[in-house]
A and B are shown apart, each in its own frame.
Chain A
Amino acid sequence: MARMKFLCDADRCIECNACVTACKNENEVPWGVNRRRVVTINDGKPGERSISMACMHCTDAPCMAVCPVDCFYNTADGVVLHNKDLCIGCGYCFYACPFGAPQYPKVGNFGSRGKMDKCTYCSGGPEADLSPAEFQKYGSNRLAEGKLPLCAEMCSTKSLLAGDGDIIAQIYKERVVKRGYGSGAWGWQTAYKETIAI
């Protein structure tokens, strides 16, 4: 069974934000909720790199561990999903997440942030696959259709890779060998406790 991961090849990422709007388009994500974002490190300096970041669907995910109501679950593909019917919007997953992935529909104080929303790896939620209820709560379920997350599929430079971790790591490795440089598989150490040895 595949273990789905994301890998952003920062030497390809140009901060075009296609991943961001593709996500919005595919999942009808409302204004203010940014399931995916692109961050530029060392902006304006030679060697700046942009990295597209969303939920990394960590191995042994911290959000899942700290959730007081246990609303998270792993799919068979290793995707970390959550059940919005169970989420109480406490914000603990946001404290724990190393990537700032959890989002809340409201900039609410007073615990009124609403139910947490995050990248689903375009694989919906606990509702029946491809049901309207699933779409309304979580967005699309491309995995159930045999497709990959749209952010990666639409990436302008094929920088953002999605798919089975071993395969995308292999792709990245091949690229680094071919071109002779690589700034690293950003977040892999933190999310999956692994580095890609070149």
Chain B
Amino acid sequence: MRLGAHFRLLVTGLLLSFAVAFAAPVSAQQVNPTADSVREQQFLDALKGNPSAELQGRITIPDQKAATLERPAGRDWRAFHQGTMLRIAAIAVLGTLVALVAFYLIRGRIQTEGGPSGRAITRFNAFERFMHWLTAACFIVLALSGLNVTFGKHLLLPLIGPQAFTNISVVAKWAHNYLAWPFMVGIAMMFVVWIKDNIPGMTDLRWFAAGGGIVGKGHPPAKRFNGGQKIVFWSVVLGGGALSVSGFYLLFPFYAGGVLNLQFWNVVHGIVSVLMVAMILGHIYIGTIGMEGAFDAMGSGEVDLNWAKAHHSLWVEEELQKGHVSGGPKLQPAE
């Protein structure tokens, strides 16, 4: 089934998941419960109009989930999880990797123009770097353990055998459940700390128009974060937010409502996470082998002034005015 169809189905499911009730014909003259008995065919017919229909009844045990007799929608979720999800994940993750390799082969490592100046400027302070690496480390574990759920049994299980795979998966599950929390904290902190530098503006449009300096020659001007980085920021914040919310419901299954809701949040979680994995792969590429000098920003926190001028010219100007540039011969302000 197509992704769109899935979403439509699940959303309809959320909105319309109704207890199928059948009106029984009651004549004043004779009540014949045998003849009027509810038939499964009525439910199966109702399913045609609403594939998310659930067959609800009454049950004496307190677990009201058990009152759902049939929920064929599970089949659609299964089809999504085993088919669509697998394909999206494969395309997103492998596709990105392939694209990056290709890009590297074509473009090579992007060098800092004019070579290193020998003078450094503080790009990210210790707290910002802690925040970033906390989130990043969590994300990597979360991503790997998450991908394990989707791909593990196809890739890892045949290699290491069922018991070892289960052991790994249990650890992965606990890691996923517990590291979700620092990850969410990291996302929240990044949002608070970096939001002011990530408000989109005209500069970003021009930056994009100029190809971001990756394609073609020359660097368009950019503030502390260029258009590409803003994309990353917002993707992380929004995607992370979506993952947090959906993950929360999956961690606390009884707040999500019925199983249909759990299925929905599971789909959201799956799709958003593989898209984020794809995007973060690009982010990692650019921050490491893709571009000379970029890693220093989150490594030591200090970047070469020339690198900064090339990539974040407007920000450097601001920083220079504030006198925040360190190392090497200081620029003397005109007095």
Contact = CB atoms under 8 A, between A and B. Distances in A.
A39 B37 contact: no
A83 to B, nearest CB: 8
User: What is the size category of the interface that chain B forms with chain A?
Assistant: 35 or more
Interface stretch (B191-199, B258-266, B325-333): B258-266
A136 interface: no
A34 B61 contact: yes
Contacts of A90: 149, 173
A107 interface: yes
Nearest to A33: B63
Given A91-B253, A111-B174, A46 B33 contact: yes
A184 B45 CA distance: 13
Contacts of A69: 152-153, 157, 162, 165-166, 169
Contacts of B153: 67-70
Contacts of A11: 34, 37
B65 interface: yes
Contacts of A109: 251-254
B249 to A, nearest CB: 11
Interface stretch (A127-135, A146-154, A162-170, A185-193): A185-193
Contact of A98 (B60, B61, B65, B75): B75
A68 B150 contact: yes
Nearest to B259: A95
Contacts of B254: 107, 109
Contact of B74 (A43, A68, A97): A97
B157 A187 contact: no
B38 A183 contact: yes
B26 A46 contact: yes
B174 A47 contact: no
B235 interface: no
Contacts of B33: 46-48
A37 B38 contact: no
B137 interface: no
B46 to A, nearest CB: 12
Interface string B301-323: 00000000000000000000000
Given A68-B148, A68-B150, A181 B69 contact: no
Nearest to B174: A111
Nearest to B35: A181
A80 interface: no
Interface residues of A, number: 56
Contacts of A178: none
A78 interface: no
Contacts of A183: 37-40
Nearest to B24: A47
A41 B77 contact: no
A52 to B, nearest CB: 10
A67 B169 CA distance: 12
A100 to B, nearest CB: 6
B29 interface: no
Contacts of A46: 24, 26, 31-33, 36
29 contacts: A39-B57, A39-B68, A40-B58, A42-B57, A46-B26, A46-B32, A46-B33, A47-B24, A47-B36, A48-B37, A49-B37, A50-B57, A62-B75, A66-B81, A67-B153, A69-B162, A69-B166, A91-B250, A95-B259, A97-B74, A100-B65, A100-B69, A110-B251, A183-B37, A183-B38, A183-B39, A184-B39, A184-B41, A187-B40
Interface of A: 10-11, 17, 32, 34, 37-43, 45-51, 53, 62, 65-71, 83, 85-92, 94-100, 107, 109-111, 181, 183-187, 189-190
